[in-house]
Amino acid sequence: MKKYKVLFQPQNLETEVPEDSTLMEAMDGAGIDFDFPCGGQGKCGKCRVKVLLGAGVPTSGELEILDEKELGSGIRLACSTRVRDNVVVELIDYKQLQHNILIASKERAFQIEPHLNKIFVEVEKPSLAAQRPDWQRVKDSLAEQGVHHPAPEVPVALLRRLPDTLRGAEHRVTAVIHGNRVVGVEGLDTTGTMLGMAFDIGTTTIVGYLLDLYSGKELAVVSTLNPQTKFGADVISRITFAGREEDGLDKLHRAVIEAVNRLIGEAAEKAGINRNLIYGLTVAANTCMHHLFIGINPRNIAVSPYVPAVGEPLVINAGELQIYINPAGKIFMLPNIAGFVGADTTAVLLATEIDRSEDIKLVIDIGTNGEIALGSGEKMVACSAAAGPAFEGAQISCGMRGAVGAIDHVCFGDKIEYSVIGGGSPLGICGSALLDAVAGLLELGMLDRRGRFIPRDKLTNSAAQMFKDNIIEHEGQRAFLLAGADKTGNGRPVVITQGDIRELQLAKGAMAAGIRVLMEIRGARFDDIKEVLLAGAFGNYLNPHSACVIGLIPLELEEKIKMIGNAAGTGSRLALLSSGEYRRASNIANIVEFVELGSYPKFNSIFAESTYFRQIP
Amino acid sequence: MKKYKVLFQPQNLETEVPEDSTLMEAMDGAGIDFDFPCGGQGKCGKCRVKVLLGAGVPTSGELEILDEKELGSGIRLACSTRVRDNVVVELIDYKQLQHNILIASKERAFQIEPHLNKIFVEVEKPSLAAQRPDWQRVKDSLAEQGVHHPAPEVPVALLRRLPDTLRGAEHRVTAVIHGNRVVGVEGLDTTGTMLGMAFDIGTTTIVGYLLDLYSGKELAVVSTLNPQTKFGADVISRITFAGREEDGLDKLHRAVIEAVNRLIGEAAEKAGINRNLIYGLTVAANTCMHHLFIGINPRNIAVSPYVPAVGEPLVINAGELQIYINPAGKIFMLPNIAGFVGADTTAVLLATEIDRSEDIKLVIDIGTNGEIALGSGEKMVACSAAAGPAFEGAQISCGMRGAVGAIDHVCFGDKIEYSVIGGGSPLGICGSALLDAVAGLLELGMLDRRGRFIPRDKLTNSAAQMFKDNIIEHEGQRAFLLAGADKTGNGRPVVITQGDIRELQLAKGAMAAGIRVLMEIRGARFDDIKEVLLAGAFGNYLNPHSACVIGLIPLELEEKIKMIGNAAGTGSRLALLSSGEYRRASNIANIVEFVELGSYPKFNSIFAESTYFRQIP
């Protein structure tokens, strides 16, 4: 049988499959975990990919689901597209379902402009007529090329290696330059290669992108759960751990450093390169993760007035943090905006370029602490909304993280339909399904504005009648039965209780209040906002319509919602590939006006109001 | 009985003694090992000290030995001067006999100008109205004082401590500045204190001076044998060890770092201060010790073309070398001139100021590798003479280091007189006694120009007749008996063999040849040389007349010899107390013209000639 190659971008994963295999099968072969909510039946349309090469003719199923514009740009359904040629596929909305890590995202135009520079020089060999020290002869050669190392401070590690480096390479060496300083000298001509890694260090997950700093090409993507999770699921519990436990800070610090080192090794192995070729790392992280990465106690972030130790961009020698890359390597920390609006938000704003936008845009990263920014090039405001863990499935009776076994989407049609991550029987629900379910209940008129279940006998909507038997008593409170005990993987029913709805109201209320306060401060009305950009894993996973129905995002903005993938990762990549973009990030962090919601006079009443649902017409 | 206080400078050692005690007894009380070659009988005149306060009337013995100028400037004999008031004594030629470490030396005029700067600031406290990061608020306060930290590089250690430092001191802190960079922030107002240590790291010994960087006052002096000695007695054997042994370099590096850390602790304890108050270290060392201190393999120094890895002044963060002082502390390495003319020579030249001298001066530091410099402000030339270990008593049949039990001085009068370090019976001879003995034999006409013993029957000098029975056969070669087996502490005779004289000829020949080559290159005749400055332990211990008689130093220059003490230590101190002097050291290292003796065309014949003795008239 004939075989074809399928190359998946941006992961650069290649596989070979027999003719007529689906892209879904090819993904399986390439080891890619991808989301097929309808099980690959071509119905849900959620497995959109972009076929860059070898797309072939769309199937009738695809013609039904995809619009003309999508088809024209190569969008296909992975479950339906059959391989009849060598194919290059871009995973436009790739989620690593194993632990729901959002990796890929679209990159915008930018200028490659490496932070570091390499210069090859032939250094004069020592002789009785040239007894100048090794380092002096290197500097003399560099001076001829216009590089004048100014400082009496030379990296000790460089000096320690220099004599052997020179003599091992017949005095033909490459100097690694940062600014106008020599930060490394290595044997032979290595100017052809310079790699870097962009990191997005989230509270839950860490993603690293190995990039060629000259071409911008992605060589590998790696990710892992943040191992700090075992010391606390969220930012606050980690801050508590750092303060309470002996060596707590050190444990958290070392956990993330080790994880990053492990990911660097993994990426190097994937790409088949030596980690020594990696010269730079950028790190986008929330302020707490930022501090823990450097080893700073984040204690003061958690208590009023929520002040970080440091905000500005920091360039740190890799060795100082025991990050194992090239010894000349530097860590470029993206700048924080405030205690709860960190460098990850800076990275998102950098990726979305709202600092140069004429239009006003709303950028939302939903999480335990949701970050919200609103503005244009003229003025940007940002805040952090303490949504709590409901969106992550925590403190929800049947809640769970978006992992295998979680109901991730719910739809009320003729019956209750739901999809389960990884297929199979459900074990619980994750945040996106909670949104869908509550939105559905609202649309069916089964909940009132305060979030209370409307008594069975008062249900007016005919569709609601169909599901009235699902309103049950569960452990002493009213609840909605999503899946009976006989349908689940653990023999327990999956329900949404009155309490769960209350939790969701608090969470969405916090987000909505944040949006409203920013709009008031920025003086922006719904009409002024041209785009709503959803960043981050949850924002890219949820059903935007559900988010609007429950009022997490104002319904007025529904049509303007765009999912922008892991924009923090994109920002980190941009800052790695371009020192100009890194400087721009610094500028963004400087000009964004941080709004402390707690200090906003009307905040409490706005928040209380925002916990209500709106009347669905 | 009445008691008085005696204070010894520069050690700052104080003691209290009964009226009429001698200074010799006071030294004993203060724990000072001092050399009394004639046993305190007021005969040899070698225990000269300078009495700064409370000198009293000289004894008749002193009037005989000391000249008017000496008496006028307070010079007295420690064995003869009696305490009849509180006395302050300067030990002008102090040797720590225990391991012959030369500590004190005279300092010249200079301007105190600290390398680091401290600025006290009251930082704005954080509030909901001032949520700027800690580091930003510190920088804002410093900017008001005109300090603008420029770099995106902030010491990680500083950031890690900053939140607690600020809050622990109610935001009243002191910034430590180097150049225009903040290198440390510490709680409360610490501007009143800034200490530093000047180190002289020799192959055999390490001396450290704890100084107040504001007043220049010496708070403590500490010294130790260089623990690297156990891996090799001299530079070459250590270089071999570093290359041959696994971890050899690391062992040598860590040995010196640990010794320095131990000395820092000792000095801090002596002065009753916390080592955290020490912000700077200067290091003067020969090139090999310099490299080993930093952790650079000195391998290439030992092989032609004898090239060091680095020469220029280096400023290294204390933490990078694991030197435990204030975390903001810096190590200021004095610059090397060449592979065998190191930063110790730079320090000597700095101390002697020949870079600004109108007169031509000859500076000699005698050792296994003797460093010689000749010049004036107009032009300086320097070389290293491979004298070998004879001056240190090695490879001499009865040779030993200048430690307790060594004959250190010999004099031929009516009989052979010698002094023994620490008193008691001799165990061997050290270099200075070898010089005295051979000079004596030459003056008695008992050796010919080639260094051979003149047969007993050909001795013409009547004094020589007295000692002809001392010419004996010893283990198959002719030898001169200094002390019979019945007079020594180990039951073996102390002799000087024909072979020993040969070794001395090679050693002194190397030095003399170096001096002659420099004079030729510099175009200087004996008359042009105004001063001969002897630096270092051996140079300050030897009898200059003996050195001239054997031709180590040209006899023509004898009257111009001055002993300048541990000038390398003095240079290190100057560079510590004054950043201007440190820059000047850099300039000296740049302008000194290094002469590779081996490349000098006539060197071999000059050397061969120089091994001969001159005819004593």
In angstroms, the separation between the Cα of residue A114 and the nearest Cα of chain B is 17
pLDDT, tens digit, 9 for 90 and up, residues B214-250: 999 999 999 988 889 888 878 888 999 998 888 999 9
Residue B299 has its nearest CB partner, among A136, A163, A296, at A163
Residues B124 and B76 in one domain: no
Nearest to A133 among B167, B308, B321 (CB): B308
Cβ of B310 within 8 Å of Cβ of A131? The answer is no
Is residue A406 domain-resident? no
Asked whether residue B552 carries a pLDDT value surpassing 80, the answer given is: yes
Task: Report the residue from A152, A300, A315 with minimal CB separation from B163.
Answer: A300
Q: Terminal CA-to-CA distance of chain A, rounded, Å?
A: 58
What confidence tens digit (pLDDT) does each residue in B315-362 have?
Answer: 999 999 999 999 999 999 999 999 999 999 999 999 999 999 999 999
Task: Quote ipTM for the complex.
Answer: 0.76
Q: Which residue of A310, A330, A590, A596 to mutate against B (max B Cβ within 10 Å)?
A: A310
Beta carbons of B160 and A594 less than 8 Å apart: no
Tell me, what's the pLDDT at B99?
Answer: 37
Contacts of residue B338 in chain A, CB cutoff 8 Å? Answer: 131
Is residue A536, in this structure, part of any structural domain at all?
yes
**Chain A residues touching B126 at Cβ < 8 A:** 300, 305, 307
Average pLDDT of the segment spanning B192-196:
94
Min Cα–Cα distance to chain B from A130, Å: 8
In CATH, what number is assigned to the domain containing residue A42? 3.10.20.30
Report which of residues A216 and A401 the model is more confident about.
A216
Three-state secondary structure call for residue A514: helix
Domain boundary among the residues B450, B485, B504 is at B504
Q: Is the pLDDT assigned to residue B15 strictly greater than 80? A: yes
The answer to whether residue B559 is domain-embedded is no
How many residue contacts between A and B have a Cβ separation below 8 Å?
A: 144
Same domain assignment for residues B73 and B153:
no
pLDDT for residue B12 is more than 90 = no
State how far the Cα of B284 lies from the Cα of B343, in Å rounded to an integer: 5
Chain B CB contacts of A308 under 8 Å are 133-134
Task: Give the best residue of B257, B310, B341 to mutate against chain A (max A CB count within 10 A).
Answer: B310
Q: Which of B156, B594, B598 sits opposite A294 (nearest CB)?
A: B156
Same domain, A124 and A82: no
Cβ within 8 Å, pair B156-A304: no
* Interface probe, candidates A131, A136, A140, A294, chain B, greatest B C-beta count within 10 A: A131
From A131, A156, A312, residue closest to B307, measured CB to CB: A131
- Pair (B8, B61) in one structural domain: yes
Separation in Å, CA of B512 to nearest CA in chain A: 22
Domain limit, last residue, from A172, A187, A202: A187
DSSP B581: H
Amino acid occupying residue A104: A
**Sign, CA torsion B16/B17/B20/B23:** negative
The arithmetic mean of pLDDT across residues B542-560, rounded, is: 95
Contact A339 B296 (CB under 8 A): no
Element (H, E) at A351: helix A343-352
Which residues of chain B make contact with A159, given a CB cutoff of 8 A? 294, 296, 309-310, 314
Is there a domain that residue A253 lies in? Answer: no
Asked if residue B298 lies in contact with residue B311, where contact means CB atoms within 8 angstroms, the answer is no
Residues B84 and B122 in one domain: no
B180 within some domain: yes
My answer on whether A81 and A35 are in the same domain is: yes
Give the pLDDT band of residue B97 (cuts 50, 70, 90): very low
Q: Do B314 and A131 touch (CB under 8 A)?
A: no
CB A554 within 8 A of CB A617: no
Dist. CA B71–CA A382, nearest whole Å: 82
The whole-angstrom distance between B296's CA and the closest CA on chain A is 4
Helix (H, G, I), strand (E, B) or coil at B601: coil
**In contact, A231 and A255? CB cutoff 8 Å:** yes
| Last residue within a domain, chosen from B481, B504, B527 | B504
Element (H, E) at B293: helix B287-294
Q: What is the pLDDT of residue B37?
A: 60
For residues A489 and B126, the model is more confident at B126
Residue B106 has pLDDT above 70, yes or no: no
Taking an 8 Å cut-off on Cβ atoms, the answer to whether A152 and B336 are in contact is: no
Q: Are residues B395 and B491 in the same domain?
A: yes
Pair (A48, A124) in one structural domain: no
* Alpha carbon A41 to chain centroid, angstroms: 29
Closest CA to B414 of B466, B456, B461: B466
How far, in Å, CA of B398 to CA of B409, rounded? 14
Q: Which tens digits make up the pLDDT trace of A140-198?
A: 999 999 889 887 788 999 999 999 999 999 999 999 999 889 999 999 999 999 999 99
> Helix, strand or coil for residue A510?
helix
Find, in chain B, the residue whose alpha carbon is nearest to that of A160: B296
Q: DSSP characters for B330-396?
A: EEEEPPPSSSSS-HHHHHHHHHHTGGG-SSEEEEEE-SSEEEEEEE-SS-EEEEEEE--GGGGTTTS
**A307 pLDDT tier (thresholds 50, 70, 90):** very high
CA of A155, closest CA in chain B: separation in Å? 8
Q: What is the pLDDT of residue A431?
A: 92
| Residue A612 distance to chain B (closest CA, Å) | 29
Distance from CA of B219 to the nearest CA of A (A): 29
Average pLDDT, chain A: 90
| DSSP helix/strand/coil, B9 | strand
A162 vs B309: CB contact, 8 Å cut-off? yes
Residue of B126, B294, B305 with shortest CB distance to A131: B305
Do B10 and B87 lie in one domain? The reply is: yes
pLDDT of A394: 78
User: Is B431 inside a domain boundary?
Assistant: yes
In sequence order, the β-bridge partners of residue A22 are A82
Tell me, what's the pLDDT at B556?
A: 95
- Residue B100: the pLDDT is 42
- For A12-53, the pLDDT digits (tens) are 677 889 988 999 888 877 767 676 666 677 876 778 888 888
**Two tokens at B149?**
């930290």
A27 and A73 part of one domain: yes
- CB neighbours (10 Å) of residue B557? 18
pLDDT band of residue B50 (cuts 50, 70, 90) is confident
- Does A162 sit within 8 Å of B315, measured CB to CB? no
CB contact under 8 A, A599 and B128: yes
Q: How far is A351 from chain B (nearest CA, A)?
A: 22
Task: Band the pLDDT of B395: cuts 50, 70, 90.
Answer: confident
Chain A residues with CB under 8 Å of B136 CB are 310-312
Query: Exposed (0-12), middle (13-18) or buried (19+): which is B237, by Cβ within 10 Å?
Result: middle
Among B128, B294, B599, select the one facing A156 at the smallest CB separation. Answer: B294
Q: Which of A140, A159, A287, A582 to mutate to test the interface with B (most CBs of B within 10 A)?
A: A159
What one-character DSSP code corresponds to residue A145?
T
B500 with B395, same domain? yes
Q: What is the pLDDT of residues A512-564, one digit of tens each?
A: 999 999 999 999 999 999 999 999 888 888 999 999 999 999 999 999 999 99
pTM for this structure?
0.78
Q: Do residues B281 and B199 lie in contact, with contact meaning Cβ atoms separated by under 8 Å?
A: yes
| Inter-chain CB proximity B338 and A297 less than 8 Å | no
R_g of chain A, CA atoms, integer Å = 27
Are A306 and B152 an interchain contact pair (Cβ–Cβ within 8 Å)?
no
Provide the pLDDT for residue A99.
38
Whether omega for the bond prior to residue B305 falls within 30 degrees of 0, making it cis, is yes
Query: Positive or negative, the Cα torsion across A168, A174, A180, A183?
Result: negative
Are B135 and A164 in contact (CB < 8 Å)?
no
The verdict on residue A366 lying in a domain is yes
Q: State how far residue B336 is from chain A, nearest Cα, in angstroms.
A: 9
Confidence check: pLDDT of B443 > 90:
yes
| Host domain of residue B84 | 3-92
Residues 6 or more apart in contact with residue B564 via CB below 8 angstroms: B105, B106, B348, B351, B352, B533, B534, B535, B540, B570
Tell me how far apart the alpha carbons of residues B417 and B430 are, in angstroms, rounded to a whole number: 15
Please give the DSSP secondary-structure letter assigned to residue B231.
G
* Together in a domain, B122 and B30: no
CA–CA distance, A21 with B491 (Å, rounded to integer)? 99
Residues of A in contact with B597 (CB under 8 A): none
How would residue B253 be classed by pLDDT, with cut points 50, 70 and 90? very high
Residues of chain A in contact with residue B116, where contact means CB-CB under 8 angstroms, are none
Contact B126 A300 (CB under 8 A): yes
Query: Is residue B11's pLDDT more than 70?
Result: no
Chain A residues inside the 8 Å CB shell of B163: 296-297, 299-300, 309
Q: Is the model's pLDDT at B44 over the cut of 70?
A: no
Residue A140, in any domain of the structure: yes
Q: Structural domain tally of chain B?
A: 3
